[in-house]
Amino acid sequence: SNGMRGALYYESGQFMRAKRDFEVVDRTPDPRFEAEKYSYIYTKLGLMTTDSEPEKSLRYFKQAAEWKPHPESYENVALAARKLGDIETAEAFYFKCPKDFNPPSFYMNLSNLYFETQQFEKGAAIMTQAIEAGCNDILCYKMRCFFRIQTREIPGAAEDFERAIALFNAMPKAQPDPILSNLEEMLHSFETN
């Protein structure tokens, strides 16, 4: 079948041939295929069209997620949607991922989305959830500090900065951190105003 041959082509790196065979399956689905096979085909089609045909890539990833709903599929849809600027779809599919999937990816994916779209209040809220869920990572505190600075929640931002500095100072052989330096400058600009 085209699906099986396409998989062999894909695994051997013959992506154009694989794409042709997988597109035949997309046009004329084979009822004998199991959900796992369709998920595989649509995921590979999504990957092969990410740069060249981003709209198709999003459609393929959505179909893969319908055939096999799991966190990796949801992340693929969200990334494809982000690439197209479809923020609502990206956010919706990130929220379909369980919070404990590939920790702390749930929180970081949403945080990055909110950073890119300048939704700073949502960013601060999702980083608060991450910290309350036990993400005691310097990046969580730096990100929440930034979001809080942007929303003018300076006392909270200062607390996050102090926590990030404490985590930084506890690192063995820590290299200078330009992000911490920038956050410090941003906080100082509020103190002098």
Residue 157's SS3 state is helix
pLDDT for the residue 162: 97
CB 76 within 8 Å of CB 46? yes
Supply the pTM of this predicted model: 0.84
Four-point Cα dihedral 107, 109, 113, 119, nearest 10: 0
The full set of domains in the chain, from first to last, is: 1-97 (1.25.40.10), 98-193 (1.25.40.10)
pLDDT for the residue 193: 61
Mean pLDDT by 10 residues, the chain (193 residues): 91 95 92 90 97 97 96 96 96 93 87 96 97 92 98 97 96 92 94 68
Record the tokens describing residue 15, joined without a space: 């992506």
Distance, in Å, from the CA atom of 42 to the CA atom of 37, rounded to the nearest integer, reads 9
The one-character DSSP state at 161 is H
pLDDT for the residue 116: 95
CB 39 within 8 Å of CB 31? no
Record the tokens describing residue 143, joined without a space: 């990100």
Residue 50's SS3 state is coil
